[in-house]
């Protein structure tokens, strides 16, 4: 058991803590204080790190478990990783492409004037498309968070209580 238990707990703690903090604290504060474009750029830099964490950390957690992980536990870890993979490989690039198209219209046709671009109606279809894929990304993120949280209950059941 030696080094495995601390590594296992640290990997779990980092994964749970970083993804929940970014999703529920940092992002909700950033969207309130940053202009839309800057918020998108911030997310574009931070989210890949979060999604790599959601993808790779369940593997590290599984490999460092100092106990046999149940089928349910393995399923939770695999599902958590799948949420990260979906975002990293598919949904984030798709959303970024739509945002880039939007930026191009705002910059090229409206000299960076977002309000004029919105008022023109030219962004409406892109915004609708972005909303659809962003919702899918949020669902994948939530699945990853909920399943890693559920794994925490399995982990806590394996820890011995010291009197």
Q: How confident is the model at residue 161 (pLDDT cuts 50, 70, 90)?
A: low
Residue 61: count of CB within 10 angstroms of its CB: 27
pLDDT of res. 2: 84
> Hey, where are the domains in the chain?
4-158
Please write the tens of the pLDDT for every residue from 113-126: 999 999 999 999 99
Residue 1: what pLDDT?
Answer: 59
Cβ-based burial of 151 (10 A; exposed 0-12, middle 13-18, buried ≥19): buried
Cα separation values, 57 from 14, 24, 107, Å: 9, 19, 39
Q: What are the residues whose beta carbons fall under 8 Å from the beta carbon of 37, sequence distance 6 or more?
A: 103, 114
The reported pTM is: 0.93
List the Cα angle 161/153/13 in 5-degree steps.
Answer: 85
Q: What is the pLDDT of residue 160?
A: 74
CA atoms within 13 A on the CB side of 128: 4
Please state, for a pLDDT cut of 70, what percent of the chain lies above it: 98
Interval 20-30: pLDDT, tens: 999 999 999 99
Predicted local confidence at residue 149, as pLDDT: 98
Give, as one character, the DSSP assignment of residue 90: I
């Amino acid at each position: 058991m030696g080094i495995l238990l601390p590594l296992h707990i640290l990997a779990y703690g980092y994964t749970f803590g970083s993804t929940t903090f970014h999703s529920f604290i940092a992002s909700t504060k950033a969207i309130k204080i940053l202009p839309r474009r800057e918020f998108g750029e911030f997310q574009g830099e931070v989210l890949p790190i979060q999604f790599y964490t959601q993808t790779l950390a369940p593997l590290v957690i599984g490999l460092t478990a100092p106990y046999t992980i149940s089928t349910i536990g393995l399923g939770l870890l695999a599902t958590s990783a799948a949420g990260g993979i979906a975002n990293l490989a598919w949904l984030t690039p798709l959303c970024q492409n739509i945002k880039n198209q939007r930026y191009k219209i705002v910059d090229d046709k409206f000299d960076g004037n977002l309000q004029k671009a919105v008022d023109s109606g030219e962004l409406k279809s892109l915004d609708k498309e972005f909303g659809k894929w962003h919702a899918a990304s949020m669902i994948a993120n939530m699945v990853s968070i909920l399943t890693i949280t559920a794994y925490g209950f399995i982990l806590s059941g394996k820890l011995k209580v010291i009197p």
